[in-house]
Amino acid sequence: MSFRYGLSLFFMSVIPGAWKRAAAGAGLLASDGGVAPTIFAEMSALAVRTGAINLGQGFPDEDGPVEVLDAAREAIAAGVNQYPPGRGTPDLLSAIAEHQLRFYGLDVDPASEVIVTAGATEALTATLLALIDGPDDEVVVFEPYYDSYAAAVALAGATLVTVPLRAPGFQPDLDELAASVSERTRIILVNDPHNPTGAVFSTDVLTEVVRLAHLQDAIIVTDEVYEHLSFHAPHTPIATLPGAAERTLTISSAGKTFSATGWKIGWVHGPADLITAVLTVKQYLTYVNGAPFQPAVAVGLRLRESYFTDAAALLARKHEILGEGLRAAGFAVHAPQGGYFTVADATALGGADAAAFCRALPERSGVVAIPLSAFVSPAHRQRYAGLVRFAACKRVEVLEEAAARLAHAGR
Ligand SMILES: *Cc1c(COP(=O)(O)O)cnc(C)c1O
């Protein structure tokens, strides 16, 4: 992930002290203070060298809806190529508000309660930078976590507090969750459906997050980029729970929903005062981005309902193909409830050390995957030592080939 590489290099040279210490603590820097090589870069290089199928990185290998792609081409041809307004193109702001009302019954004012960002990643980083006061502020996250979370928390100078998710089911223990939230908690950061585990959090978990946020006057930040890729039940935004909307910032993006991860159009919505705080940071991070993609994403958000349900059904089928291959090979599969990834336990295949297992897998089976330890703080890696993450967001024939290779290598 070149993003993290660049971030580390830049901050190594200009900012000593707090960020560096926090980043080192989060496992983002090498022990000599240099740039930590990421497992993603290592595994992608292995895929290229061995010709293995790359199920490491989570990006689709086919395009999204043609209406959305055409709208972007038309926007470029029509001259929509200069800076859009700072909050985002008004029509996209309206489309986001309409989408939240249509799917979830959430009432969002497009003029004051939503801004467009450079992907969910910028929405998250700008939110943390805007709301964190200093190192005494804690951000509670479920672990394993999406890899930009620890970096963004370190960048904001806050303290990361993790609550473990454990197989099977990857739900947090409610007592452990309650014990992790204190008067120091500024933000409870939720990612639902969850990357990398594929969990969808139960109503009990979401309700407890809201209760604890009220109790300690914390803000809920929720990353819902897989909102339309929930396989067994419609997605429930935490902002729809009683008492949640007033203290929740909801983040999503077009990347996963429309198979356009390179477009980097995201958004964040919530109470106007919090959105204003996020905007003050966001305007100096990127100012604006993706002018011709913004109207295209507005087209996407207004697509007929069947687009969204078909996309979820197709991805669920892809997970089944992958899961069958993994089971045939001898993995214990944790069938996901949502999102791009299937987690499997490689212990029965001699993969008790999944990092070493993943380094050998391309030669052994012609498939690349990522050990779950890549999404875990250094102190807790042992808990997830035998688990491997496989991306299912690839064409059916690619997954069938990967499943065949895995099953063959397992025998
Ligand atoms: C892919 C992903 C993101 C990044 O979204 P962008 O819109 O590409 O910035 C954020 N969070 C999670 C959980 C993801 O899987």
Which residue bears the tokens 């669920």? 316
Give the closest residue (by CA) to ligand 1 atom 8.
Answer: 119
Q: In whole angstroms, give the CA distance from residue 227 to residue 257.
A: 8
What pTM did the predictor assign? Answer: 0.94
Give the closest residue (by CA) to ligand 1 atom 5.
Answer: 120
In the predicted model, is pLDDT for residue 1 greater than 80? no
Confidence of residue 389 (pLDDT cuts 50, 70, 90): very high
In the predicted model, is pLDDT for residue 180 greater than 80? yes
In the predicted model, is pLDDT for residue 12 greater than 90? no
- Mean pLDDT over residues 69-88, rounded? 98
Q: For residue 335, report the phi and psi dihedrals to the nearest 5 degrees.
A: -60, 125
In the predicted model, is pLDDT for residue 25 greater than 70? no
Nearest Cα to Cα of residue 321 among 406, 408, 262: 406
The pLDDT of residue 204: 98
Q: For residue 219, report the phi and psi dihedrals to the nearest 5 degrees.
A: -100, 140
Pick left, alpha or beta for residue 170 (phi over 0 → left; psi -120 to 50 → alpha; otherwise beta): left
Q: How far is the CA of 407 from the centre of ligand 1 (A)?
A: 30
What is the bridge-based pairing of β-strands 265-269 and 332-334?
A: unpaired
The pLDDT of residue 39: 85
* Structural domains of the chain, with CATH: 18-63+307-410 (3.90.1150.10), 66-304 (3.40.640.10)
**Alpha-carbon dihedral angle through residues 377, 143, 104, 123, given to the nearest 10 degrees:** -10
Confidence of residue 6 (pLDDT cuts 50, 70, 90): very low
| Helix (H) or strand (E) segment spanning residue 284 | helix 272-285
Q: How far is the CA of 225 from the centre of ligand 1 (A)?
A: 6
* Ranges 6-20, 112-126, 338-352, 364-378: which has the least confidence: 6-20
Confidence of residue 26 (pLDDT cuts 50, 70, 90): low
Q: In whole angstroms, give the CA distance from residue 68 to residue 244.
A: 32
Confidence of residue 41 (pLDDT cuts 50, 70, 90): confident
The pLDDT of residue 407: 86
Q: In whole angstroms, give the CA distance from residue 54 to residue 51.
A: 9
Q: 5 or 98, which is more confident?
A: 98
Give the closest residue (by CA) to ligand 1 atom 15.
Answer: 195
